[in-house]
Chain A
Amino acid sequence: MTAKFQTFTSAVIPLPAENVDTDQIVPARYLKVTDKEGLREALFRDWRYGEDGGLKEPLFVMDRVAMLDRQILLVGDNFGTGSSRVHAPWALTAWGIRAILSTSFADIFRNNALKNGLLPIVVEAEKHRQLFELVATDPGARLTVDLEAQVVHLPGDEDLPFEVDPFARLMLLAGTDEMGYLIGKLPAIEAWEAKHASRVDTRVGAA
């Protein structure tokens, strides 16, 4: 269970790198942790911290003071490529990121994100370029992400509609996942089982 995904407004963190892989988002040595919250410190660890264990100079973009409370990440093409790593969306949400804008996301990452309260938003290439321009000229520009209406409101009354899998959208809005959805159907499942249990033999074929 995650929190219900509600409409929010935030300035944007620009990270123009392409093909950002999950090993960069969370290095493998942090995969044994069991507390999602602790993953905040693992996020982009080797891009943020130097050999001496301190933050790198110049600071990685997310560590700059103006960026610390921002909830929208604007990234390059094919974000989240590489290993299936649910820790990647966990670390991003632990940091406070709630939506990521890109021209494309790696499939596995996109699915992991949608199941963990993180909204990947695909924008077409020209709009993507304009967004980077917007953030370059007006670094404090604030975007409003409205999942209910499937639209990002840009400064100047411009609306950017986006597509999202309808079931994933419902799960995000409800703050649940497939398992939570199924458990919500428990009375119906139990009623069905009560009527059908006697004629379903799950051992068939096991002999």
Chain B
Amino acid sequence: MGGGTGHVFEYDGEAIRALTMEQRMTICNMSIEGGAKAGLIAPDDTTFEFVAGRAHAPKGAAWDAALESWRALPSDDGATYDKSITIDASALEPMVTYGTNPGMGIPITSLVPSPGDLADGSARRALERALEYMDLTPGQAILGQKVDVVFVGSCTNGRISDLRLAAEVLKDRAVAAGVRMMIVPGSDEVMREAEREGLHTIFRAAGAEWREAGCSMCIAMNGDQLSPGQYAISTSNRNFEGRQGKGGRTFLASPLTAAASAIRGEVTDPRTLPGIESMAAVGGR
């Protein structure tokens, strides 16, 4: 959880280079949950294409000058870091949290960890407390855990690409009976773009609520909140006790996982939905 305190994370490698800008933003956004001051990904052609032509982007000669300056930004070959961690992205599967901080996450097909397996007393007590709050049993599957509310939105995952992914899942499908699904664009601009593309009609046809841009159930200050004991699967960044409403329980997951879970009314691996398997594979978008 606090491993990044006092530091900045820089992400690099083949899997990072293959990501779109919006996917990179999600990763950088989550650096804060690891305690880091910031998350960085060196600019490359993906970055420059994203910026080109946008409002407030430099034009003409100013663009050329900016580009030259930006190309000098990446870390030097041989730059040294306090610590480096290598992750094999091909071995990753959709992740979901089971506990009460963003570090308490597991691959979606694996089992909720057992406090008894932890040697460190403090970590064991924290896990016991988290599982008690979440009313989950050590060693149980997270797949199939029922959800009452599904929230797709927030600064972490409320961009147009996130909404397009949710729409792919919800098209010609329906939100499970008894499940409330809220889809909240991250900004007015994202809302307008989604409506131009007709995504909102797909969401509404599926039985989801299409809402005004805002924080909504990420911070639960506007009335969008869980009742005590309810479960949400949420694309936001924080799952602390009471974060989405006093006594509410949160599973953090990606937009694809959240949308798939809305269809079945339980935590669902999006790779098991027909037509979604390849989309949900890492880097397979």
Q: Which of B71-79, B171-179, B195-203, B239-247 lies at the binding interface?
A: B239-247
Q: Quick check: B1 and A81 within 8 Å, CB to CB?
A: yes
Partner pick for A76 among B5, B32, B122, CB 8 A cutoff: B122
Q: Quick check: B241 and A23 within 8 Å, CB to CB?
A: yes
Question: Hey, what's the 0/1 contact readout for B99-116 against A, CB within 8 Å counting as 1?
Answer: 001010000000000000
Q: How far is the CA of A21 from the CA of B5 in the complex (A)?
A: 14
Q: A78-B35, A82-B238, A106-B35 are known; give 9 further A-B pairs, CB within 8 A.
A: A18-B126, A19-B2, A19-B126, A23-B238, A23-B242, A28-B243, A46-B241, A46-B242, A106-B2
- Determine the main DSSP class of A at the interface with B: loop
Q: How far is the CA of A82 from the CA of B241 in the complex (A)?
A: 11
In the complex, residue of chain A having the shortest beta-carbon distance to the beta carbon of B243: A23
Q: Quick check: B219 and A16 within 8 Å, CB to CB?
A: no
Question: Is residue A188 contacting chain B, with contact meaning CB distance below 8 A?
Answer: no
Q: Quick check: A27 and B246 within 8 Å, CB to CB?
A: yes
Known interface pairs A78-B2, A78-B35, A107-B35. Does A21 touch B240 (Cβ–Cβ under 8 Å)?
A: yes
Q: Closest Cβ of chain A: how far from B245's Cβ, in Å?
A: 9
Interface size class, chain B? 20 to 34
Question: Is residue B6 contacting chain A, with contact meaning CB distance below 8 A?
Answer: yes
**Which 10 A-B pairs rank lowest in CB-CB distance, beginning with the nearest?**
A78-B2, A23-B240, A21-B240, A19-B1, A28-B219, A23-B243, A28-B221, A104-B5, A46-B242, A19-B101
Question: Hey, what's the 0/1 contact readout for B80-114 against A, CB within 8 Å counting as 1?
Answer: 00000000000000000000010100000000000
Chain B residues with Cβ below 8 Å from A21 are: 101, 238, 240
Chain B residues with Cβ below 8 Å from A81 are: 1-2, 33, 35, 101
Q: Closest Cβ of chain B: how far from A61's Cβ, in Å?
A: 14
Chain B residues with Cβ below 8 Å from A82 are: 238, 240
Question: Hey, what's the 0/1 contact readout for B120-134 against A, CB within 8 Å counting as 1?
Answer: 001100100000000
Ordered by A's residue number, 5 sampled pairs between the chains whose C-beta atoms are within 8 Å are A19-B101, A23-B241, A46-B246, A81-B1, A83-B219
Question: Hey, what's the 0/1 contact readout for A158-202 against B, CB within 8 Å counting as 1?
Answer: 000000000000000000000000000000000000000000000
In the complex, residue of chain B having the shortest beta-carbon distance to the beta carbon of A108: B32
Q: How far is the CA of A46 from the CA of B243 in the complex (A)?
A: 11
Query: How many residues of A are in contact with the other chain, CB < 8 A?
Result: 25
Question: Is residue B220 contacting chain A, with contact meaning CB distance below 8 A?
Answer: yes
In the complex, residue of chain B having the shortest beta-carbon distance to the beta carbon of A22: B240
Chain B residues with Cβ below 8 Å from A76 are: 122
Q: Quick check: B242 and A27 within 8 Å, CB to CB?
A: yes
Instruction: Identify which of A24, A82, A106 gathers the most chain B CB atoms within 10 Å of its CB.
Output: A82
Chain B residues with Cβ below 8 Å from A27 are: 242, 246
Question: Is residue B192 contacting chain A, with contact meaning CB distance below 8 A?
Answer: no
Q: How far is the CA of A181 from the CA of B1 in the complex (A)?
A: 35
Q: Closest Cβ of chain B: how far from A136's Cβ, in Å?
A: 14
Q: Quick check: B5 and A78 within 8 Å, CB to CB?
A: yes
Q: Quick check: A17 and B241 within 8 Å, CB to CB?
A: no
Q: How far is the CA of A181 from the CA of B139 in the complex (A)?
A: 55
Known interface pairs A17-B126, A81-B101, A83-B219. Does A24 touch B241 (Cβ–Cβ under 8 Å)?
A: yes
Interface set, chain A 57-90, CB cutoff 8 A to B: 76-78, 81-83
Q: How far is the CA of A40 from the CA of B37 in the complex (A)?
A: 29
Question: Is residue A32 contacting chain B, with contact meaning CB distance below 8 A?
Answer: yes
Partner pick for A107 among B6, B221, B242, B243, CB 8 A cutoff: B6
Q: How far is the CA of A32 from the CA of B221 in the complex (A)?
A: 9
Chain B residues with Cβ below 8 Å from A105 are: 5
Chain A residues with Cβ below 8 Å from B2 are: 19, 77-78, 81, 104, 106
Chain B residues with Cβ below 8 Å from A51 are: 228
Q: Quick check: B241 and A18 within 8 Å, CB to CB?
A: no
Q: How far is the CA of A22 from the CA of B234 in the complex (A)?
A: 19
